[in-house]
Amino acid sequence: MPDVGLKRTPSRFLDKDRRRTWKLEEVFEKLLWSSRFLVLLAVVSSLAASLCLFLLGTFDVVKVFVNMASYVLGFNERFDLHGDVFIALIGSLNTFLVAIILLLFSLGTYQLFLRPLEAAEKPGAPGLFLFDSLDGLRDRIFVLILLSLTVKFFQIVLIMKVGSWLDLLILAGAVGLLAGAMVLMHWGKRLTREEE
């Protein structure tokens, strides 16, 4: 059919519907973009949990010093100076490690989902607190979790009572698995460095 010069006029109703749809999309996208602030709940909760664990670890160390002082002064004769002190200090070390994991999670989540921390980007600031990807955050947290599990394992080994050769075999197998995990982690780091 030949074009005879008839122009098609847009419908008023159709234009209003499009404007409403665009406005609705715009409002929805703003709402969706603003929902990233829900991450603040995880950031603040992790930060509060980290603070609690730092205080708990400090309390454990102070308790060890109080017990040592009472032992030295003769008030606490049942206190095993070497065993109890060592086990308690290793336990507090593990508590501090978990607190650091929560702190790194809090800082990394904030930087990745909300905005970069200007203080962390200043020259001289430790690079440990800079995160540019979820992979970087995951890798640092994984290393700390593995370290925390190693310390916990060491604490359990100190408490463990060896009753038979099977207990020794299980202990040796656990040490071997732990060493294998460390070797695999080291190889993984080396491979990622070579790829870059």
Structure tokens at 139: 């890798």
Predicted pLDDT of residue 150: 82
Regarding predicted confidence, which is higher, 141 or 194? 141
Range list of H helices, the chain: 12-34, 39-72, 81-113, 118-121, 134-159, 165-195
Mean pLDDT value across residues 27-38: 86
Average pLDDT, the chain: 81
Domain boundaries, the chain: 18-159
Predicted pLDDT of residue 105: 93
Regarding predicted confidence, which is higher, 124 or 24? 24
**DSSP character for 126?**
-
7 φ/ψ sector (left φ>0, alpha ψ -120 to 50, else beta): beta
Residue 134: pLDDT above 60? Answer: yes
Predicted pLDDT of residue 42: 93
> Model confidence at 7, in pLDDT bands (50, 70, 90)?
low
Return d(Cα 24, Cα 98) in angstroms, integer: 45
State the pTM of this model.
0.74
Query: Apex CA 182: angle with CA 91 and CA 187, to 5°?
Result: 150
pLDDT digits (tens, 9 = 90+) for 113-133: 888 877 777 777 677 777 888
Residue 56: pLDDT above 90? Answer: yes
| Least confident stretch, 18-22, 72-76, 111-115, 168-172 | 18-22
Predicted pLDDT of residue 194: 72
Regarding predicted confidence, which is higher, 77 or 61? 61
152 φ/ψ sector (left φ>0, alpha ψ -120 to 50, else beta): alpha
Among 90, 101, 160, which residue's Cα sits nearest to residue 128?
101
pLDDT digits (tens, 9 = 90+) for 157-171: 778 777 777 877 887
Mean pLDDT value across residues 136-149: 85
pLDDT digits (tens, 9 = 90+) for 78-105: 777 777 788 888 999 999 999 999 999 9
Among 38, 58, 19, 25, which residue's Cα sits nearest to residue 110?
38
